[in-house]
């Protein structure tokens, strides 16, 4: 194999592996699946306590995550969701 072929293969493996191991997302606590999206440093996985239509997921600690309509409809309360969660603000700030 040439060095170019080896480098191409290595890059392909990293891309496929990176997509496979991105953050956990699950339908039920304790049930995990992988996400096809690359994990970002600012993303964390939290339990969805409730949802606020049309596009906001609310975590147990009060932080929120805005998502698209399809993701909103498909995400159940009690599920684990990976997102760049925004901390809740306190009144009067």
The pLDDT tens digits for 11-20 are 665 655 544 4
Task: Work out the percent of the chain whose per-residue pLDDT is above 70.
Answer: 57
- Threshold 0.85, pTM exceeds: no
Domain holding 46, by residue range, is: 3-83
In three-state secondary structure terms, 80 is strand
pLDDT at 80 over 80: yes
Give the residue among 41, 27, 37 at the shortest CA–CA distance from 81.
27
Residue 54 lies in a domain: yes
Give pLDDT, residue 11.
66
What tokens does 5 get?
């072929």
- Banded pLDDT at 72 (limits 50, 70, 90): very high
DSSP one-letter code for 38: P
Residue 91 lies in a domain: no
Residue 53 lies in a domain: yes
Cβ 88 vs Cβ 64: under 8 Å: yes
Give pLDDT, residue 56.
95
How many domains does one find in the chain? 1
pLDDT at 85 over 50: yes
Give the residue among 70, 68, 84 at the shortest CA–CA distance from 23.
84
Residue 31 lies in a domain: yes
């Amino acid at each position: 194999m040439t060095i170019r072929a080896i480098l191409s293969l290595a890059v392909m493996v990293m891309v496929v592996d990176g997509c496979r191991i991105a953050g956990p997302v699950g339908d039920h606590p304790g049930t995990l699946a992988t996400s096809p999206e690359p994990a970002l440093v600012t993303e964390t996985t939290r339990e969805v306590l409730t949802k606020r239509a049309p596009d906001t997921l609310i975590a147990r600690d009060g932080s929120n995550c805005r998502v698209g309509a399809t993701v909103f409809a498909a995400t159940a309360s009690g599920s684990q969701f990976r997102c760049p969660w925004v901390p809740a603000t306190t009144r009067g700030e």
